[in-house]
Structure 1
Amino acid sequence: MLEKERLKIVAIGGGSSYTPELIEGFIKRYATLPIKELWLVDILEGETKLGIVGALAKRMVKEANIPMKIHLTLDRKLALKDADFVTTQLRVGGLQARVMDEKIPLKYGVIGQETNGPGGLFNALRTIPVILDIVNEMEELCPNAWLVNFTNPAGMIMEAIYRHSNWRRAVGLCNVPIGMTRAVAKSLEVEPERIHIDFAGLNHMVFGLDIYIDGKRVTDNAMNAIASNKRSITMKNIAELDWEPDFQKALNILLCPYHRYYYKTHEMLLEEIRSAKGVGTRAEVVQNLEEELFDLYKDENLRGKPEQLEKRGGAYYSDAACSLIDSIYNDKGDIQTVNTLNQGAIASIPNNSAVEINCVIKKSGPKPIAIGDLPVPVRGLVQQIKSFERTACEAAVTGDYQKALVAMIINPLVTSDTIGKKILDEMLEAQKKFLPRFHKILGKGI
């Protein structure tokens, strides 16, 4: 167990609009997670937001009357020195790059989304090198720390860490399983604490294989209720389109909101095109939400997380991170759904690949709960996405155009090789300032 009198946590991307939720999570767990120092770190372009969020964080801590010191810095190495836990919640290229991730594919009749399809690929190409730099710095400055990542695309980031670095004290997080559990509880009219779901798959490609209430398996009844009531399990950033009830009942597996991009591709594309012409892409909507949130954060009378934060698609991310840190620190041995090394938990996925699965959380990290294999109807899609993830990681690390092209075209949301190449070339050019590993080919012209 770590020494309580020196517990130091570093949040990279500390100027994020989600940071107040992180602060709230640490405050309510202070009795079991007594943090002496919390460092909020950002880059020069995020300095203004860091100052605003940092001031709110200090007010929240003062209101809670706990001795947690908040530090704000643009010096990442200074912050990382002797850290016990490091969280990453960054967005390389900011919302400007996310707008491109969403808009450019739509021009070619392909879904544009920040973690799926071409948008997910480019998010990975921008972000993986930065995360690997952070890992290298942690090896030098805080070799005993745990990295808790909830930067998207979380699955590909964890795949890159496991395959392209020596760092193993890393866990990825997503709020999707939490949202699914809460939605099932609402459908069944019970408290979320009474629900347990056997989750397995990949990040944003996770399935609920079995559902329990108070330890009793209720999968069949739950799926029938969800299908019959047309209860949608969705998130703020995903259109609430209902599943075909017969499909849900026949599959008898709980789908995550992101599965709509693969099982309702046509409808989701039309919805994205409609939204882009109206309120704008999701990134443009988020830009307006961010402005609203930061205006609220500036209010010196605000001393808590505002309700408006839950309008963001990532609500509960930060609370999940706090729970994970608490469980590792206190060796709780509880079950949480995280992104970690497969280690044989899912038979058809390589042992050294990242998966999203229920784990027992101990001070030594997550221990995956083996499920054998995924059901045949969903296994092939998961394997295809894993092939895409691995190829995308290689492209991000090497800056290899050919690997990026293959990753683009094998993604199931890309409809042809010709269209895939056009999207790749346009996005490489549009985002070249965020893709230094591709500068060699971009300088020559594609």
Structure 2
Amino acid sequence: MSKGIKIVTIGGGSSYTPELVEGFIKRYEELPVSELWLVDIEAGREKLEIVGNLAKRMIEKAGLPIDVHLTLDRKAALKGADFVTTQFRVGLLDARAKDERIPLSHGVLGQETNGPGGLFKGLRTIPVILDIVKDIKELCPDAWLVNFTNPAGMVTEAVLRYTDHKKIVGLCNVPIGIEMGVAKLLDVDHSRIRIDFAGLNHMVYGLDVYLDGVSVKDRVIELLTSPENSSFVKNVEGQGWEPEFIRALNALTCPYHLYYYKSDEMLEKELKNFKAGTTRAEVVKKLEEELFELYKDTNLAIKPPQLE
């Protein structure tokens, strides 16, 4: 029998980690993970312990032979890894607040993947991902790097341009979120839906939608023209799309398009939040604190529904 798969997650103390662990549990037959190493830095030690212990309880409840290791030593974790996933935030949520607040203080959109805020985050993050790749080249050169760190496009492109490590995939949950949203809209199982996407990560268009292999784009666009159905991803609150716009575009939009097609409205909304002290960073910080209080519960052995 072949040895199991070793996966290293950098930024393992993230509040999103239980979702990742749930994914590994559900797909164990296809992806037989034997070792999961959760890596963080000193500033994230407490969160790593909390979320790491929840991960161990989840795996124990599932009855799977996956060993979970918690460490602050990235190099020790990377040795012999098959896959490395990255989900870290340089400067933590306090830095995100600056990414949003500095542009807004100048009357410009502040957002963690677009505009000046996205560039700030990219400038902090790219040197770190390049350091990680150096370690990968030394300790696990055959490993695939799966990047989930924003700004995903910039970070992934930096690795492809400025290192010789080409085994990298940049991921974002927007496209899969759109697919799941369409499945919900049509009241069918997600496995029956396929979408042809053009673009990348936070800038994707759905060019066609298939239900059981048959195009249903026109039907979906009609459903989408009702305002309550116009945004699939909950972490971007939009203004909704005008039905005429969606019909004229003749494609599915993603929520991040609001920052481009409706810049004035989005800026107005974000400035209002900024003045009230409730930028997205503050909202996420509060949510994260609530999640970690839940994660501390030693009786909890599943991904809590609040993470959705």
- Scaled by the length of structure 1, what TM-score is found? 0.67
SS in 1 for 2:57: helix
**Distance of 2:245 and 2:102 partners within structure 1:** 32
Matched, 1:271 2:269: yes
Comparing 237-246 and 109-118, the one that deviates more: 237-246
SS at match of 1:5: coil
Distance in 1 (CA, whole Å) between partners of 2:215 and 2:8 is 40
Q: Is the 8 A contact 1:27 1:64 kept in 2?
A: yes
Counterpart contact for 2:227–2:241, Cα < 8 Å: no
User: In the aligned structure 1, how far is the partner of 2:232 from the partner of 2:59?
Assistant: 33
Q: Which structure 2 residues correspond to residues 314-393 of structure 1 after superposition, within 5 A?
A: none
Q: CA deviation at 1:188?
A: 2.7
Query: What residue identity is the alignment partner of 2:79?
Result: K
Counterpart-to-counterpart distance in 2, 1:131 and 1:76 = 12
Distance apart, 1:203 and its partner CA: 2.1
1:8-407 alignment, distance < 5 Å: 8-228=6-226, 231-278=229-276, 280-310=278-308
Aligned residues: 308
**What is the CA-CA distance between 1:190 and the residue it aligns to?**
2.6
Give 3-state SS (helix, strand or coil) of 1:36's partner.
strand
Task: List, as ranges, runs of 4+ consecutive aligned residues in structure 1 with deviation greater than 4 Å.
Answer: none
| Partners of 2:33 and 2:187 in 1: CA distance | 37
> 2:8·2:83 contact (CA, 8 Å) conserved in 1?
yes
Opposite residue 225 of structure 2, the aligned amino acid is A
Structure 2 CA distance for aligned equivalents of residues 296 and 150 of structure 1:
24
Deviates more, 1:65-74 or 1:256-265: 65-74
Query: What is the deviation of 1:229?
Result: 5.8
Q: 1:350 aligns to what?
A: none
> Matched residues in 2 for 1:109 and 1:234: separation?
27
Aligned counterparts of 1:63 and 1:82: Cα–Cα separation in 2: 27
Moved more, 25-34 or 90-99: 25-34
Once the two structures are superposed, residues 245-297 of structure 1 have per-residue CA deviations (whole angstroms, 9 ceiling, x without a partner) of: 11110110111000000001011011111222336000000000010000011
The answer as to whether partners of 1:230 and 1:245 remain within 8 angstroms in 2 is no
Q: Which moved more, 1:112-121 or 1:211-220?
A: 211-220
Asked whether the equivalents of residues 4 and 34 of structure 1 are also in contact (C-alpha less than 8 Å), the reply is: no
Displacement after TM superposition at 1:54 (Å) = 0.8
SS of the residue corresponding to residue 8 of structure 1 reads strand
1:5: Cα distance to partner? 1.6
Distance 2:144 2:38 in 1: 16
Return the alpha-carbon distance in structure 2 between the equivalents of residues 185 and 277 of structure 1.
Answer: 38
Superposition CA RMSD, Å? 1.4
What is the alpha-carbon distance in structure 2 between the residues aligned to residue 195 and residue 94 of structure 1? 36
Q: Deviations over 1:11-40 (max 9, x none)?
A: 000000011111111112222222211100
Q: Which amino acid aligns with 2:245?
A: F
> What residue number does 1:438 align with?
none
Q: Distance in 1 between matches of 2:255 and 2:285?
A: 22
* Residue of structure 2 equivalent to 1:314: none
